[in-house]
Amino acid sequence: MAATEGRRTRPGGAVFRSRTRLLSADDVGRALRRMAHEIVERNSGAADVVLVGLQRGGVPFAEALAANLAAIEGTTVPVGALDVAFYRDDVATRPVLPEASSSIPVDLSGRTVVLVDDVLFTGRTIRAALHALSEFGRPGRVQLAVLVDRGHRELPIRPDFVGKNLPTSLDESLLATLDGVELGTMVAT
């Protein structure tokens, strides 16, 4: 099921086959600019903010948000990358592999951590991410930014900043990158 997230699945298991393009690169750029403004508004600036992208799909969006925050506020916000594989609750039932190492450049204690991911689906990745974050300090608050919320939550998790709400059916799959958002399906290789 989580294979529909398009990544965090082992190579060779399945590939994404696109059917329709839902957002263009420009649409994604505009959504990220708005989200950056919302982050600044919510936190009265960006002084305490640390952006943490989830490996790998969330990392480019975290970097893009940081660039937008720099343009808006003129401050450089630290950007980290977090891999949640070792914190997932389904490692025994599904092929789970780490995407890449975690890399958190600052102690998160007291900071406002904005978790950034490409697609929010069941919420289980975010649950794992909240657990993983605690290894790097005790954040003052944690917020969640996602480019796409596709629904089908299995846990009480809701995003603070959303690029686009895209209701999907369970047999569909989304691929969200800086180049755009596509709807399709995962097919066996």
Binding footprint of other proteins on the chain (CB under 8 A): 1, 3-4, 10-14, 83, 85-87, 90-98, 100-103, 131, 135-136, 170-173, 185-188
CB of 132 to other proteins, least distance (A): 8
Q: Which residues, 6+ apart, have CB-to-CB distance to 137 below 8 Å?
A: 107, 108, 109, 110, 111
Cβ proximity to other proteins: between 16 and 72 the closer is: 16
Cβ proximity to other proteins: between 19 and 30 the closer is: 19
Cβ proximity to other proteins: between 33 and 94 the closer is: 94
- Six-digit token string for 119: 């697609």
Which residue is associated with the tokens 């007291």? 110
CB of 77 to other proteins, least distance (A): 22
Kindly report the number of other CB atoms within 10 A of residue 141's CB atom.
13
Cβ proximity to other proteins: between 75 and 134 the closer is: 134
- Output the CA angle 14-18-23, nearest 5 degrees: 130
- Report phi then psi at 45, rounded to 5: 120, -165
Compute the chain's Rg from CA coordinates: 16
Cβ proximity to other proteins: between 17 and 30 the closer is: 17
Helix %, strand %, coil % for the chain, to 5? 30, 30, 40
Helix (H, G, I), strand (E, B) or coil at 160: coil
- Report phi then psi at 77, rounded to 5: -95, 135
Cβ proximity to other proteins: between 97 and 106 the closer is: 97
CB of 37 to other proteins, least distance (A): 33
What is d(CA 97, CA 45) in angstroms, rounded to the nearest whole number?
A: 36
The answer to whether residues 92 and 120 touch, using CB atoms and an 8 Å cutoff, is no
CB of 36 to other proteins, least distance (A): 28
CB of 138 to other proteins, least distance (A): 13
CB of 130 to other proteins, least distance (A): 13
